[in-house]
Structure 1
């Protein structure tokens, strides 16, 4: 059985984790050697460049392109596969967005968040108590 679902392959969409264009998506257009790949991300503003695999994280998305496809064709395939839209809906992207939002919170926002959590936890506690009581009776 295959353990790995995400392979370094032509058309694999990657997330640039560090270096320039950090936090953007790009597509693997060619594989240079065991450590480096040629990236292109016309839709996300990543210029065609060779990057080390250590700076990249593979996503579950794949674009149907051929080896060394030209930038405009990569963009066309990307748009047709609706990668940007699918990425926005992925848990990974949502987590990143939440982290970004959280880092920009003001003191008052943090306070409101704390109070909202307390209110939610109170509701949960009350419901749990009801369930426990019902279970004791049964």
Structure 2
């Protein structure tokens, strides 16, 4: 199946537009092809209709009957631990990181740029040292090769040593 997230009763969604932007809601009922009835009891979003193009569907889904009351939705929300699961999701962490970056001052951005520069210099020097060591060991390209001046002599040198010396 190509789609994993369907517009269905109990599907948790993030509001992408309007006064409740960024808050989680649960779909309570499908009104028509473009509108749904939503309720966000734990995120202070009142029950109401919203257009589907104002929602981003998440992977979370709670079990409750369609047109369930706010009390039933709240109980299913708590039983499903939606708030905790959302806070641990990659999506929520990206949103939080974006918000924290937006709050940086000029000086904070300067300090961040300097720290990244220092980190990259340390990372580059460590990489170059490892690459140099791998080149010496003969493991630079993934195959163990004999380094120059290793333990085994060159095959041609062995053949010359086997020949008896001329008198």
Shorter-chain TM-score range? over 0.9
| Correspondence for 2:160 | none
Residue correspondence of structure 1 range 1-138 to structure 2 within 5 A? 2-137=1-136, 138=138
More strand per residue: 1
Runs of 4+ in 1 over 3 A off after TM superposition: none
Name the count of aligned residue pairs. 137
Question: Given the two structures, how large is their TM-score scaled by the length of structure 2?
Answer: 0.80
- Cα-Cα RMSD: 0.9
Question: Given the two structures, how large is their TM-score scaled by the length of structure 1?
Answer: 0.96
Q: Could you say what secondary structure the match of 1:26 adopts?
A: strand
Structure 1: gaps (5+ residues): none
Distance 2:66 2:32 in 1: 14
Once the 2 structures are TM-superposed, how far is the Cα of residue 124 of structure 1 from its aligned partner?
Answer: 1.4
Bigger relative contact order, structure 1 or 2 (CA pairs below 8 A, ≥6 apart): 1
Distance 1:30 1:121 in 2: 51
Q: Which has the larger radius of gyration?
A: 2
Structure 2: gaps (5+ residues): 139-167
